[in-house]
Chain A
């Protein structure tokens, strides 16, 4: 599904990613862990198509397409979803308008007619229940005045609406209390199918109790320095990152 080969990326001339290799197959859950500044968020931003990062080497194919050549919106329409570490507040733009535009742009890309207003509202209702998001949130402007937990739930709600093939959850657990974490993780698990995959970026093993990974990768100084199964996360939790750095 996703194949990253020798990916290098810079920001303002400084190299952050120094040769990432990663293969993700349909249905797999990969966790990426690593200390602050190791390049985790850069990796997700580069995959989502943030212009401030410059890819200097390497290639990324997503469902057979050259991902790096696609605009951010086309990456999304192809089925890539980034759950933001810090979701953006957009005053004045209602959740309904935002989601309706997004869903219909995805449909247009697939050659489908836009959803009728009633079908759209029905879809919203279903997905809201699925991810246990408060109804009131979707009547407001996008993320405006949402608490940290609400913002993260809103990311998962958007994911439920767009049904991506590959979801990248960038520190979705940061700033969540234990109940919110459970709800968010439940949402992710409910959306899981044998075909879709996810990349879970986190600092803490705790999230992986809820979203169980098939593989755990450790990113350090712009490279994946270790790959293992979920036990690797437990080992990290116990020993910290120092043994990697050493």
Chain B
């Protein structure tokens, strides 16, 4: 009975260890042993795991996924097959293909102000001490088998370093492309280090460029040091045959601001984990997310906001719009530890079901051990407001348009939090198209999955 995908993956690891380490860097290899041991111990989160109650993980890690342990040699120019669809967004661009950094022409970019971004493996070779100090210190391999698995397998990904006091005007955009003729499993790792008083906006876009099935298991670690300000927008836009486990871990130091906004525009099965540790006083955290789910898609979000120190503020808003037979889940845990006096923590989860068959499971959780705090949490699951719909119809707006306006308004609450204007406008537009049933892909996507 136990000849599971777990054993298969452990064997896969052992069989390919040479290839895995060869195509990575010492610092990452160093952490692998711990990762695989931990995975052996933890295995996949099972049905009894409260945290993964609504996503059956193990069966998704099918053994028929191909796994490549060296970067794919590409014979085409990426520009020929993929063009970012936010032309007015002027960014520093970082591209990955199936989890490996795509150098264009070099894989490590060093900007004049000391900012480094590019391949994590390359950076780990060039700055081993810096990476060693931070890699695998925010994510934890000992409580989530999937993070352990990622630590064992991850060979590359994107690295971003912001030196002290540097304010990056242009956002850094990471575009993760999946393209393959065969079904593929992809595991990679991102590391973002924001030194004291540095500031940056980071945009992460996930795309699938071929119809094969993809399984992604990605871990992103963010270290936000004192008074830094890091803003991450994630746009997940993959096809129906994709499965994605995305783990975002952030550790915030004194006076820092960290914001994340995860827009799950399209995908097959998406599981987003967000862990934020408010590790010192006066931190500010914003955790936002929006999921647009239809047909048989599934989006499951787990968030854990850990108030470990006093005088921090966190603000969380998640919304999901579910159509057809789609399912969604939200499990949001806020922990206010004993020492975290004067904490302000707010959480809100609102969901709209457009059909009688769509399902949403929500569990807002607030655990408070300090006695001088301001906290609130709440969740709603509802339908489109009939009164509002009639009001619009009474102004000559068709029922369909009225529904669309309401859905769009519902979604805009989250999209409106995006600070970069061209990005916000573009995502608004993609959301609008998505709700209208037009494929909300970027123009370059070859997929016709809707």
Q: Are A and B co-members of a single complex?
A: yes
18 additional contacts, CB 8 Å, given A101-B392, A102-B392, A162-B396? A73-B394, A73-B399, A75-B394, A76-B393, A76-B394, A77-B396, A84-B394, A87-B391, A88-B385, A88-B391, A90-B385, A90-B392, A90-B406, A91-B413, A92-B412, A92-B413, A97-B405, A141-B409
State the CA gap A170–B410 with chains docked (Å).
Answer: 29
Q: Do B410 and A98 touch across chains, with their CB atoms under 8 A apart?
A: no
Within 8 A of A (CB), among B359-415: 385, 387-388, 390-399, 401, 405-406, 408-413
The 3 nearest A-B residue pairs measured at CB: A92-B409, A76-B396, A93-B409
Q: Do B391 and A93 touch across chains, with their CB atoms under 8 A apart?
A: no
Q: Do A90 and B396 touch across chains, with their CB atoms under 8 A apart?
A: no
State the CA gap A92–B409 with chains docked (Å).
Answer: 4
Q: Do A93 and B408 touch across chains, with their CB atoms under 8 A apart?
A: yes
**Contacts across chains A and B counted by CB atoms under 8 Å:** 77
Within 8 A of A (CB), among B398-450: 398-399, 401, 405-406, 408-413
State the CA gap A87–B408 with chains docked (Å).
Answer: 20
Q: Do A106 and B385 touch across chains, with their CB atoms under 8 A apart?
A: no
Q: Do B405 and A93 touch across chains, with their CB atoms under 8 A apart?
A: yes
Within 8 A of A (CB), among B245-270: none
State the CA gap A71–B396 with chains docked (Å).
Answer: 9
Looking at the assembled complex, report how far the CB atom of B302 sits from the nearest CB atom of chain A, in whole angstroms.
26
Asked whether A148 is an interface residue with its Cβ less than 8 Å from the other chain, the reply is no
State which of B385, B388, B395, B410 has its C-beta within 8 Å of the C-beta of A162: B395
- Chain A 41-53: CB-based contact to B (< 8 A → 1; otherwise 0): 0000000111100
Q: A88-B387, A88-B388 are in contact. Are A93 and B406 (CB under 8 A)?
A: yes
Asked whether A35 is an interface residue with its Cβ less than 8 Å from the other chain, the reply is no
Q: A71-B393, A76-B394 are in contact. Are A101 and B405 (CB under 8 A)?
A: yes
State which of B393, B409, B410, B412 has its C-beta within 8 Å of the C-beta of A72: B393
Residues of chain B within 8 A (CB-CB) of A162 are 395-396
Asked whether A198 is an interface residue with its Cβ less than 8 Å from the other chain, the reply is no
Residues of chain A within 8 A (CB-CB) of B393 are 49, 71-73, 76
State the CA gap A82–B395 with chains docked (Å).
Answer: 8
The bracket for how many chain B residues form the interface is 20 to 34
Residues of chain A within 8 A (CB-CB) of B410 are 92
Q: What are 25 A-B interface contacts by the 8 Å CB criterion?
A: A49-B393, A50-B390, A72-B390, A73-B393, A73-B396, A75-B394, A76-B395, A77-B396, A88-B388, A88-B390, A90-B405, A90-B409, A91-B413, A92-B408, A92-B409, A92-B410, A92-B412, A93-B388, A98-B405, A101-B405, A102-B392, A102-B397, A142-B391, A162-B395, A162-B396
Q: Do B396 and A105 touch across chains, with their CB atoms under 8 A apart?
A: yes
- Chain B 165-207: CB-based contact to A (< 8 A → 1; otherwise 0): 0000000000000000000000000000000000000000000
Residues of chain A within 8 A (CB-CB) of B408 are 92-93
State the CA gap A141–B390 with chains docked (Å).
Answer: 17
Looking at the assembled complex, report how far the CB atom of A120 sits from the nearest CB atom of chain B, in whole angstroms.
15
State the CA gap A109–B393 with chains docked (Å).
Answer: 14
Looking at the assembled complex, report how far the CB atom of B258 sits from the nearest CB atom of chain A, in whole angstroms.
26
Looking at the assembled complex, report how far the CB atom of B350 sits from the nearest CB atom of chain A, in whole angstroms.
10
Q: Which residue of A lies closest to B416 (CB)?
A: A92
Looking at the assembled complex, report how far the CB atom of B325 sits from the nearest CB atom of chain A, in whole angstroms.
25
Residues of chain A within 8 A (CB-CB) of B397 are 73, 98, 101-102, 105
Q: Which residue of A lies closest to B400 (CB)?
A: A73
Looking at the assembled complex, report how far the CB atom of B244 sits from the nearest CB atom of chain A, in whole angstroms.
27
Within 8 A of A (CB), among B97-142: none
Asked whether A197 is an interface residue with its Cβ less than 8 Å from the other chain, the reply is no
State the CA gap A142–B409 with chains docked (Å).
Answer: 10
Q: Do B394 and A90 touch across chains, with their CB atoms under 8 A apart?
A: no
Residues of chain B within 8 A (CB-CB) of A138 are none
Q: Which residue of B lies closest to A106 (CB)?
A: B396
Looking at the assembled complex, report how far the CB atom of A198 sits from the nearest CB atom of chain B, in whole angstroms.
16
Interface centre among B393, B395, B413 (most CB of A within 10 A): B395
Asked whether A172 is an interface residue with its Cβ less than 8 Å from the other chain, the reply is no
Residues of chain A within 8 A (CB-CB) of B406 are 90, 92-93
